[in-house]
Structure 1
Amino acid sequence: MSSERLAIRRALLSVSDKQGLVALGKALVAHGAQLLSTGGSARALRDAGLAVTDVSEHTGFPEILDGRVKTLVPQVHGGILGRRDLPEHVSQMARHDIAPIDLVCVNLYPFAATVASGAGWDDCIENIDIGGPAMVRAAAKNHDHVAILTAPSQYEDLIAALEAGGTVLEARRRWAAEAYAHTAAYDSMIATWFARQLGEEFPPVMTLSGERRETLRYGENPHQKAAFYVNGDTRPGIATARQVQGKALSYNNLNDTDAAFEAVAEFDRPAIVIVKHANPCGVAVADTAEAAWAAALRCDPVSAFGGIVALNRTLDAATAEQISTIFTEVIVAPDADEAAQAVLSKKKNLRLLLTGSVPDPTAPGLAFKSVAGGFLAQDRDAGRVEEADLRVVTKRAPTSAEMQDLLFAFRVAKHVKSNAVIYAKNGATVGIGAGQMSRVDSARIAARKSQDAAEAAGESAPLTSGSVAASDAFFPFADGLESVIAAGAVAVIQPGGSIRDQEVIDAADRAGIAMVFTGMRHFRH
């Protein structure tokens, strides 16, 4: 790759984000460059005492159509696209009085900010940039001869290049790649907005874009490369969180923390969710976060070691003290008071993330999954059942206390990998069976882990004794329900909908337990 440095004799600066613009302009002038500019950019540069030529003066063609056409002229695009290494291009440029432009610095109309402000259709349309993307793409295409900047974060490198004598091809190629990504993301935002305005949740062509937040040490395993991208969604979570302390987050940390925080947002009362390998291993609600922590930990203290802890309330010192008694990878919460932060500061490697608020579990949104040759898109599972939605199908109806535990357990089931069976009692999970090919196995595994937890707590009876149970999908046969009954459950919540529902209901009636149908399934693969 050529190491030849190209000087910048003429630069076109036209930006909506004025950050760093004056410093860049001063550096260019100091190194002999003529500045071309438009509108607010030109005013900012002149106010700083710099000599600026308006683009309309440079081209001899006025801005027209309320500024919609000002740079879409041959004197601009010819100056950007002309190849300096082709005599035919050079002679044509000279014949048509087209001066070469060696640097284009453009960032685009603030379309995303306009949409976010709640502006109407006409304002949003007017904030779709046309001339800007055209210049960006032209300069990026001709990067052998032209440098293209699209973000203030690039200015420092450009200024350093000026001081070294000019830009090198390697840098121009990197900026060109970033420029195409910039315009692609911009067009993606516009396409997504248009689809929403037209009521198309799944348009014929779906475009996705993201900005790299950081390159991760590795992916799920050390032999896999990975990076973390953000897409501008303001939903509270790992993308919007502020990391207060701790070492860098890994791929698995990010995935598990997202799972934990989305789960804890389901509950109105103070809640704790402990996650291990993307599955909750303990969930509880209580009057205080400290009480919820104790109840959640009791469910599976072994799996909680090295897990992720999520709260839906401000973390206080007493709760922080309790959590810090076991090895914890990440704590995520809306906030943490100063005393709690002081407690956790003693655990230098523990990551503390503060999000400011919790996400709305019922808010619409899309979820994606990659498959060979493409990706799947679906609505986020924002489904929720309330007591009024339930249908009692057994002779015995749940008691009021059982009903509350049933609703709690079904909300937990939404966040457990299928097949999922959850046992709960007094607002806390007491057994979680996740990700098994057979629902019977999930029920049995959860019951066995409940026995282990009881032994760890010095109790003789399994924690599932007298509990309620939730299943994320229907029981296809009575054997799954019978396993739940054998574990000591006295009430069950499930979607229903199997051709053998009556067989399952009859088994519940024979055991004298209560069962309700939700009519809603929560598969999670």
Structure 2
Amino acid sequence: MPAAPDFPAAPDRAPVRRALISVSDKTGLVEAARALAEMGVELVSTGGTRKAIADAGLAVKDISELTGFPEMMDGRVKTLHPVVHGGLLGVRDAPEHKAAMDAHGIGGIDLVYVNLYPFEQTVAAGADYATAVENIDIGGPAMIRSAAKNHGYVAVCTEPADLAEVIAELQAHGSTPLSLRKQLAARAYARTAAYDAAISSWFADALGEAAPRRRAFAGERVQALRYGENPHQSAAFYRFANPRVGVATARQLQGKELSYNNINDTDAAFELIAEFDPAAAPACAIIKHANPCGVATGASVLEAYERALACDPVSAFGGIIALNRPLDAATAEEILKLLTEVVIAPEIDADAAALFARKKNVRLLTTGGLPDPRAPGLTFKSVAGGFLVQGRDDAHVTAADLKVVTKRAPTEAEVRDMLFAFTIAKHVKSNAIVYARDGQTLGVGAGQMNRKDSARIAALRAADFGLDLTGSACASEAFFPFPDGLIQAADAGCTAVIQPGGSIGDQKVIDAADERGLAMVFTGVRVFRH
């Protein structure tokens, strides 16, 4: 590796005599340029940025006046020049650097303000391959990285808030402090890293590479959290450049700041409720510790909420409520009778919002829509020394996918109940058993070490709240390895069972179902969730 040269220590404060500005997003550009010009800073710029500054009546040099070369190759080559990068990288107080700058007529550039070609937005808009490639910025990241490396002398800005900080320092003190230049450099490298991560991920998708040799993820901080799952754990919430509709894009109308656990549980709730098409029926999901304790459809949003709550009103206390339709006043009135941490819905009407205003601590979120549960995507989790990446579970099972494996075929009503229960089971931590009937969960067994216990616990919960499992459907998100779990479900009153199948013990389980007159179907799809 290169040895560190014996450079003089960087100054605590550095003046700004020349600024290089080249931006795609020109929000606040003219105002910032004017503020710099009023302090005697020489402005140098490129293309459309230079024109916008000049049109405002401000003196600004074109980059070609420094380099002696015009922009060429459709603007691909304009800032990739020794005069530019020498002006950024030159260590002002190092004799050899100063001599080289003087010998080649390289003037120092003390401030860089660059925001990059809008690659992420271009891809999000559905651009074709060639257009996406053309929106990969080269000169911008190069200038940002050069300026950030030489932060001992150069302030680098990649967004308006950065530049506002620099201008405030210049107006107050006439120079920038080293502490700020270090912070700006760190932000700048994070920005170029995020940009490169977006490009590499797009290339992997475009080439159909499910497991590229290197995988990078990047996000922008939405919120610094007070703590993580527990008070001794630090935490923050980040959003992707092109986020999926949900908690990361939600607008918080009221309530305390979301916690780490709130965000995690709200995401689980909203991803589950997105499985239910709002055009088909109102639906409500109540989540506790990332597991559903009640899910139901209804003739109205209010009925869906009341039916979901009936499944387990004890666990619902302090939970998360998600709706697939706008929250109305009648439903809000009922929800407010329960201690609730978060309510999330696509929209909320004015009367419902006014009711919630009485309890200002309840966090109320609107999203403007629902995520597409069939859309592909990636999920990841950390492990010691690395992370796991997988495609998000976009499985969707329909009646046409079901294979009847028992002597008795299910009725149409049982098929509807089985599909409903299986949809819920997809969002329950394994091992998962869900009993359901008529678009309502009756019992949920989650996170047990064996499936028999999950079936038993789900039945006990139903009994605790006076819910009769007779004639219900039972869903298992993974196969029954032995008949015991199925027998437990049959003894509880279910008459139809849905499961993936695929166990070496399938025939024994099928025989047990036939002995009890059950209808059982295999989906061929496992929706196991840790």
Q: Classify the secondary structure of the residue corresponding to 1:160.
A: helix
1:230 to 239, 245, 263: 239
Distance in 1 of aligned mates of 2:367 and 2:459: 35
Alignment of 1:449 with 2:458, yes or no, is no
Cross-structure match for 1:522: 527
* Structure 1 residue 332: Cα displacement: 0.7
Cross-structure match for 1:457: none
* Structure 1 residue 131: Cα displacement: 1.1
* Structure 1 residue 445: Cα displacement: 0.8
Cross-structure match for 1:384: 396
Cross-structure match for 2:516: 511
Q: Which amino acid aligns with 2:471?
A: G
More displaced, 414-423 or 184-193? 184-193
Cross-structure match for 2:314: 302
* Structure 1 residue 446: Cα displacement: 0.8
Note if contact 2:282-2:301 (Cα within 8 Å) is conserved in structure 1. Answer: yes
Distance in 1 of aligned mates of 2:10 and 2:226: 31
Distance in 2 of aligned mates of 1:345 and 1:85: 60
1:293-322 Cα offsets, whole Å, 9 max, x none, are: 111111100000000000101111111111
Distance in 2 of aligned mates of 1:114 and 1:304: 42
Cross-structure match for 2:204: 195
Cross-structure match for 1:47: 55
* Structure 1 residue 232: Cα displacement: 2.1
More displaced, 325-334 or 16-25? 16-25
Cross-structure match for 2:479: 474
Cross-structure match for 2:387: 375
What TM-score does the superposition give when structure 1 sets the normalisation length? 0.96
Cross-structure match for 2:144: 136
Cross-structure match for 2:166: 158
* Structure 1 residue 3: Cα displacement: 7.5
Note if contact 2:11-2:152 (Cα within 8 Å) is conserved in structure 1. Answer: no
Distance in 1 of aligned mates of 2:88 and 2:76: 19
* Structure 1 residue 353: Cα displacement: 0.8
Q: Classify the secondary structure of the residue corresponding to 1:335.
A: coil
Alignment of 1:501 with 2:506, yes or no, is yes
Distance in 2 of aligned mates of 1:360 and 1:41: 38
Distance in 1 of aligned mates of 2:434 and 2:122: 45
* Structure 1 residue 171: Cα displacement: 0.3
Q: Classify the secondary structure of the residue corresponding to 1:302.
A: coil
Note if contact 2:113-2:163 (Cα within 8 Å) is conserved in structure 1. Answer: no
Q: Which amino acid aligns with 2:433?
A: V
Q: Cα RMSD (Å) of the superposition?
A: 1.3
1:427 to 439, 443, 453: 439
Distance in 2 of aligned mates of 1:360 and 1:165: 52
Note if contact 2:497-2:519 (Cα within 8 Å) is conserved in structure 1. Answer: yes
* Structure 1 residue 12: Cα displacement: 0.7
Cross-structure match for 1:359: 371
2:131 to 123, 129, 133: 123
Q: Which amino acid aligns with 2:254?
A: Q
Distance in 1 of aligned mates of 2:132 and 2:374: 27
More displaced, 298-307 or 466-475? 466-475
Q: Classify the secondary structure of the residue corresponding to 1:369.
A: strand
2:42 to 31, 34, 48: 34
Distance in 2 of aligned mates of 1:243 and 1:390: 41
Q: Classify the secondary structure of the residue corresponding to 1:331.
A: strand
Distance in 1 of aligned mates of 2:498 and 2:130: 50
* Structure 1 residue 2: Cα displacement: 7.6
Cross-structure match for 1:113: 121
Cross-structure match for 1:146: 154
2:359 to 347, 358, 363: 347
Q: Classify the secondary structure of the residue corresponding to 1:466.
A: coil
Q: Identify unmatched segments of 5+ residues in structure 2.
A: 1-8
Q: Which amino acid aligns with 2:391?
A: D
* Structure 1 residue 408: Cα displacement: 0.4
Note if contact 1:218-1:251 (Cα within 8 Å) is conserved in structure 2. Answer: yes
1:258-303 Cα offsets, whole Å, 9 max, x none, are: 1001111112321100000000000001121111111111110000
Q: Classify the secondary structure of the residue corresponding to 2:122.
A: helix
* Structure 1 residue 431: Cα displacement: 0.5
Alignment of 1:329 with 2:334, yes or no, is no
Note if contact 1:431-1:463 (Cα within 8 Å) is conserved in structure 2. Answer: no
What TM-score does the superposition give when structure 2 sets the normalisation length? 0.96
Cross-structure match for 2:5: none
1:172-203 Cα offsets, whole Å, 9 max, x none, are: 00000111111111111111122222121221
Distance in 1 of aligned mates of 2:132 and 2:310: 53
Cross-structure match for 2:288: 276
Name the count of aligned residue pairs.
Answer: 518
Cross-structure match for 1:458: none
Cross-structure match for 2:218: 209
More displaced, 73-82 or 228-237? 228-237
Q: Classify the secondary structure of the residue corresponding to 2:85.
A: helix
1:53-90 Cα offsets, whole Å, 9 max, x none, are: 11111222222222221111111111111101211111
Cross-structure match for 1:267: 276
The alpha-carbon distance between structure 1 residues 425 and 119, as it changes in their structure 2 partners (threshold 3 A), is closer
Q: Classify the secondary structure of the residue corresponding to 1:449.
A: helix
Cross-structure match for 2:426: 414
1:453-488 Cα offsets, whole Å, 9 max, x none, are: 11xxxxxxx532332111111111111111111111
Distance in 1 of aligned mates of 2:226 and 2:11: 31
Alignment of 1:403 with 2:411, yes or no, is no
Distance in 1 of aligned mates of 2:368 and 2:318: 24
1:117-152 Cα offsets, whole Å, 9 max, x none, are: 333322222221111111110000000011101101
Q: Which amino acid aligns with 2:342?
A: V
1:10 to 14, 18, 26: 18
Q: Which amino acid aligns with 2:331?
A: T
* Structure 1 residue 326: Cα displacement: 0.3
Alignment of 1:320 with 2:328, yes or no, is no
Distance in 1 of aligned mates of 2:524 and 2:366: 36
Distance in 1 of aligned mates of 2:465 and 2:41: 73
Note if contact 1:247-1:350 (Cα within 8 Å) is conserved in structure 2. Answer: yes
Distance in 1 of aligned mates of 2:19 and 2:240: 31
Distance in 2 of aligned mates of 1:376 and 1:58: 48
Note if contact 2:124-2:242 (Cα within 8 Å) is conserved in structure 1. Answer: no
Note if contact 2:155-2:181 (Cα within 8 Å) is conserved in structure 1. Answer: yes
Note if contact 2:158-2:191 (Cα within 8 Å) is conserved in structure 1. Answer: yes
Distance in 2 of aligned mates of 1:382 and 1:345: 36
1:218-262 Cα offsets, whole Å, 9 max, x none, are: 101111110000112342101111111111100000000010011
Note if contact 1:261-1:310 (Cα within 8 Å) is conserved in structure 2. Answer: yes
* Structure 1 residue 491: Cα displacement: 1.3
Note if contact 1:272-1:293 (Cα within 8 Å) is conserved in structure 2. Answer: yes
More displaced, 492-501 or 305-314? 492-501
